[in-house]
Amino acid sequence: MTIPAIQINNIHKQFGDLQALNGIDLTINQGEFFGLLGPNGAGKSTLINVMAGLLKPTQGNVAIMGHDTVNAYQAARMALGVVPQELVFDPFFNVREMLRFQAGYFGRGRENDVWVDEVIESLGLTDKAHTNMRKLSGGMKRRALIAQALVHKPPVIVLDEPTAGVDVELRQMLWQFIKRLNKDGHTIILTTHYLEEAETLCERVAMMKDGKIVALDTTANLLSKLPGKNLRLVLGEATLPTTLFPMLKSGQNGVFTLALTELSQIEFALSELRKANIAVQDMQLIEADLEDVFMSLVGVHANEKAIA
Amino acid sequence: MKLIDDMISPAWRGTYTLFKKELFRFWRVAFQTVASPILTALLYLLIFSHALEGHVQVYKGVQYQAFLIPGLIMMSLLQNAFANSSSSLVQSKIMGSIVFVLLTPISYLQFFCAFLAAAIIRGVLVGFSIYVVAIWFVDLPITHPAWILAFALLGSALLGTFGIIAGIWADKFDQMAAFQNFVIMPLTFLSGVFYSIHSLPPIWQAISKFNPFFYMIDGFRYGFFGQGDISPWISLTVVTAFLLVLAWLCLKMLKSGYKLRG
């Protein structure tokens, strides 16, 4: 049997009175593209920090490629590349120097310089290789952070919200890059606020809330759990008839979204609108997405579009 | 440098890289980290030697100017060894870039060795530079070079270790400044940089003997003049004991992950 890329057993983490992680069990197989979703404070970053050895669990253990993160921490860290969420950098060095130092910390010597240059090129940092980290734009710093996690060729890569605050073009570029890493055999664990991102990239998803995993399944299975569709109605100045309120998912500025459990409800909705003499200006039938699954599980209000 | 890089075994490459990074870090700002303390020490030398020359004779046959130089060298060496490890750590903690080291397989012992070695290099480099500049102006004998070397290395190691402890403990720059201004500075000035403790009233002489900086400076000065306030062997014992206690404390903090790994 193949060793799992990440094996998390009954992890608890307590900060004073706060139970940040409350019994997490999770197995991520080698080669998987795995998504970790959840609102702020759900415990995603805490879990990543425990995996990376930056936090010690109050209880439980984690193994990276079969190496325990406490008893065999050196082998475990060799197998793991972490892209932190914050745009942190060392202001004394340029991109190439910083990457070579990072590779050196992992025991890599000058023979690794070719790989460092390859990573620099793949992430479009060649022009900035001699630029001080301090002088890079936010997007470039983000790329450098990703490069930093790759310099020692780790089989498992954890990206903690890699596309937070980056523009659409860079997001697409990073998606392509991360997909390629996964295709090349790297196991990818991605935390994200963007459900669209998880839906596009991840084969399997865990949803967290209050330090617990509330859903763990393939993305396809999670989506199939909510067969319902959404009906989006643009009514202009008119208000929604009260008979449709039980179906209402969200409503703002004359645009109402109704959650449908079966398609026959469309006819019911339209007849109620006719009865109330309300003209429909526009209408759309929308497939349920991960956000709907997420909201049904986590209970976050629909207006919080970018699930925090 | 490339030759050394290739000679290092992969098992020690992490430690060596961290050490090299720490060296580069202070060398990148050498104007502030090396040139500035040299200038400060020379200003002290100029002012105090002019003000007190002829009024003070500390050791028989030793000019006050010459007496002053080993004290100034040691003072700068100690302050800079402390500043190197403490400022690097507190800065990388506040900036968040310490995470890049914490994510690696570098052990707490290797971490300690790398920061300590860089602190020793900076301390000794600043001290040696002051010596090289000062001997242009003052005739300074070297009676026991081995004592000079021993106290330079032990002193910078002691303050380098203290700097790591302070860097781990401090969460803000002002806490670090408090360490420097309320601990390092008074201990240095009250240690006999500018005077022999024999010139002090008995009570202050007794208090001075609780100051570890006194032993470092006195032992170091003994290496130049062959005379001091106490035996260099006593100084060596006290400084080594202090170093061992601080190193033990520092390693205990690093091993537990205190303020570095939650």
Q: Which residues on A lie below 8 Å from B17 (Cβ)?
A: 101, 104-105
- Give me the CATH number covering residue A16: 3.40.50.300
Is residue B51 situated within a structural domain? yes
Interface A–B counts its CB contacts (< 8 A) at 87
Residues B18, A105: C-beta atoms closer than 8 Å: yes
Query: What pLDDT, on the 0 to 100 scale, is given for residue A302?
Result: 39
Query: What pLDDT, on the 0 to 100 scale, is given for residue B244?
Result: 98
Q: pLDDT at residue A308 above 70?
A: no
Is residue A64 situated within a structural domain? yes
Domain endpoint, select from A203, A224, A245: A224
Is residue A1 situated within a structural domain? no
Query: What pLDDT, on the 0 to 100 scale, is given for residue A299?
Result: 63
A144 and A240 assigned to the same domain: no
A219 and A247 assigned to the same domain: no
Q: Is B114 in the A-facing interface, judged by CB distances under 8 Å?
A: no
pLDDT band at A264 (very low <50, low <70, confident <90, very high): confident
Picking from B173, B184, B181, B247, the residue whose alpha carbon sits closest to that of residue B212 is B184
A215 and A234 assigned to the same domain: no
A166 and A253 assigned to the same domain: no
Amino acid at B160: G
Query: What pLDDT, on the 0 to 100 scale, is given for residue A64?
Result: 97
Query: What pLDDT, on the 0 to 100 scale, is given for residue B55?
Result: 65
Query: What pLDDT, on the 0 to 100 scale, is given for residue A75?
Result: 96
Indicate the residue of A52, A56, A101 with minimum beta-carbon distance to B257: A56
A167 and A274 assigned to the same domain: no
Is residue A237 situated within a structural domain? yes
Is residue B209 situated within a structural domain? yes
Q: Which residues on A lie below 8 Å from B107 (Cβ)?
A: 74
Is residue B41 situated within a structural domain? yes
Residues A107, B13: C-beta atoms closer than 8 Å: yes
Q: What is the pLDDT of residues A173-224, one digit of tens each?
A: 888 989 999 999 999 999 987 777 888 899 999 999 889 999 899 988 887 7
User: Considering only alpha carbons, which residue of chain A is nearest residue B2?
Assistant: A110
Alpha carbon of B41: minimum distance to chain A alpha carbons (Å) = 27
Residue B71 domain boundaries: 2-256
Q: Is B61 in the A-facing interface, judged by CB distances under 8 Å?
A: no
Q: Is B17 in the A-facing interface, judged by CB distances under 8 Å?
A: yes
A99 and A132 assigned to the same domain: yes
Looking at chain A, the whole-number percentage of residues with pLDDT higher than 90 is: 54
Q: Is B25 in the A-facing interface, judged by CB distances under 8 Å?
A: yes
The segments of chain B whose pLDDT lies below 70 read: 53-57
CA distances from A251 to A92, A113, A299, A303, B222 (A): 51, 55, 17, 9, 85
First to last CA, chain A: 37
Is residue A304 situated within a structural domain? no
A10 and A110 assigned to the same domain: yes
A142 and A70 assigned to the same domain: yes
Q: Which residues on A lie below 8 Å from B5 (Cβ)?
A: 109-110
DSSP letter string over chain B? -HHHHHHS-HHHHHHHHHHHHHHHHHHHTHIIIIIHHHHHHHHHHHHHHHHHTTT---STT--HHHHHHHHHHHHHHHHHHHHHHHHHHHHHHHHSTTHHHHTSS--HHHHHHHHHHHHHHHHHHHHHHHHHHHTTTS----S-HHHHHHHHHHHHHHHHHHHHHHHHH--SHHHHHHHIIIIIHHHHHTTTSSS-GGGS-HHHHHHHTT-HHHHHHHHHHHHHHS--SS-HHHHHHHHHHHHHHHHHHHHHHHHHTTTT--
Is residue A273 situated within a structural domain? yes
Residue A276 domain boundaries: 229-287
Residues B13, A75: C-beta atoms closer than 8 Å: no
Is residue A295 situated within a structural domain? no
ipTM of the complex as predicted: 0.90
A219 and A183 assigned to the same domain: yes
Strand order in the sheet with A156-160: A80-83, A156-160, A187-192, A33-37, A204-209, A212-218
User: Considering only alpha carbons, which residue of chain A is nearest residue B89?
Assistant: A90
Query: What pLDDT, on the 0 to 100 scale, is given for residue A304?
Result: 43
pLDDT band at A143 (very low <50, low <70, confident <90, very high): very high
Indicate the residue of B2, B24, B99 with minimum beta-carbon distance to A110: B2
Residues B105, A15: C-beta atoms closer than 8 Å: no
Residues A107, B2: C-beta atoms closer than 8 Å: no
Residues B105, A107: C-beta atoms closer than 8 Å: yes
Per the structure, the count of domains in chain A is 2
Query: What pLDDT, on the 0 to 100 scale, is given for residue A291?
Result: 74
Residues B103, A80: C-beta atoms closer than 8 Å: yes
Contact A205, A198 (CB under 8 A): yes
Q: Is B175 in the A-facing interface, judged by CB distances under 8 Å?
A: no
Contact A255, A281 (CB under 8 A): no
Q: Which residues on A lie below 8 Å from B11 (Cβ)?
A: 107
Indicate the residue of A82, A86, A109 with minimum beta-carbon distance to B96: A86
Residues B17, A89: C-beta atoms closer than 8 Å: no
Q: Which residues on B lie below 8 Å from A109 (Cβ)?
A: 5-6, 8, 10, 13
Cα separation, A22 vs A39, whole angstroms: 16
Is residue A94 situated within a structural domain? yes
Is residue B261 situated within a structural domain? no
Is residue A292 situated within a structural domain? no
Is residue B244 situated within a structural domain? yes
Q: Is B101 in the A-facing interface, judged by CB distances under 8 Å?
A: yes
Q: pLDDT at residue A303 above 70?
A: no
Indicate the residue of B25, B92, B104 with minimum beta-carbon distance to A77: B104
- Give me the CATH number covering residue A279: 3.30.70
Residues B97, A88: C-beta atoms closer than 8 Å: yes
A98 and A139 assigned to the same domain: yes
Per the structure, the count of domains in chain B is 1
A123 and A155 assigned to the same domain: yes
Domain endpoint, select from A177, A202, A224: A224
A217 and A249 assigned to the same domain: no
Domain endpoint, select from A224, A252, A268: A224
Q: What is the pLDDT of residues A44-86, one digit of tens each?
A: 999 999 999 999 999 999 999 999 999 999 999 999 999 998 8
